Chain A
Amino acid sequence: QVQLQESGPGLVKPSETLTLTCTVSGASVFDNYWSWFWQPPGKGLEFIGYINLSGHSSYNPSLMSRVTVSLDTSKNQFSLTLTSVTAADTAVYYCARLLRATEVPILYHFLDVWGRGITVTVSS
């Protein structure tokens, strides 16, 4: 059974850098894509970014200047780094796997497994 678990600080000061880690069990980060999403308080879900082993990555343009998603194959983990955080970055952050659909004749990835989420508050 594939499981994802987010870890990192629950509280970050404004202007600092936030780093979150997602530990993958039951699957290898060598396969598929690995992604991050966030959910600000009382709001819906938003895409942050994803990456795969080949280094193919994609980021939400609204965050692109501040965000990096990276893989650590030795630990079977992937990470999110967000610089210059502000109160607007307060949210629940989720990591998720983008699994390739195998029963269709096209290249398509869907979010099949999500972490439980980690609440991050940006405050001095």
Chain B
Amino acid sequence: DIVMTQSPLFLPVTPGEPASISCRSSQSLLRSSGYNYLDWYLQKPGQSPQLLFYLGSHRASGVPDRFSVSGSGTDFTLKISRVEAEDVGVYYCMQAQQAPRTFGPGTKVEIK
């Protein structure tokens, strides 16, 4: 299985300040098509996961533009330009390059 790692695992943030989450995979998620087979999800407290980005950089409907992603191959980053209170929760990256799909351990974002 492809192993996904994330850092940090815990991220206390100040509202209005930026935040960054790193995701790494044990194998390249970049296919010859030029697409990275990586998705990002946010699981808010007490809720089910919600899609943020798919295929590396495709923003899901309704996701604010303060969220952005970058990276390719095995190293990816999710950035929040200015954190808001509603952004708290656990952020997961998930690879779809190879079955079975596997998730990172999650990064818990909390307000300081």
Contacts and interface: CB of A to CB of B under 8 A. Distances in A.
B15 interface: no
Contacts of B35: 104, 106, 108
A45 B49 contact: yes
Given A45-B92, A104-B55, A108-B35, A114 B49 contact: yes
Main secondary structure of the interface of B (DSSP, over half): loop
Interface residues of A, number: 24
B96 A110 contact: yes
A63 to B, nearest CB: 9
B33 A106 contact: yes
A110 B104 contact: no
- What is the interface of chain A mostly: helix, strand, loop, or mixed? loop
A114 B50 contact: yes
A92 to B, nearest CB: 9
A44 B104 contact: yes
Interface in B50-86: 50-51, 54-55, 58, 60
A24 B75 CA distance: 36
Interface centre among B31, B35, B48, B105 (most CB of A within 10 A): B48
Contacts of B33: 105-106
Contact of A60 (B49, B58, B100, B104): B100
A112 interface: yes
20 contacts: A44-B105, A45-B49, A45-B92, A45-B103, A46-B103, A47-B100, A47-B103, A101-B58, A103-B58, A104-B58, A105-B33, A106-B31, A106-B35, A108-B37, A109-B96, A111-B39, A111-B41, A112-B51, A112-B60, A116-B47
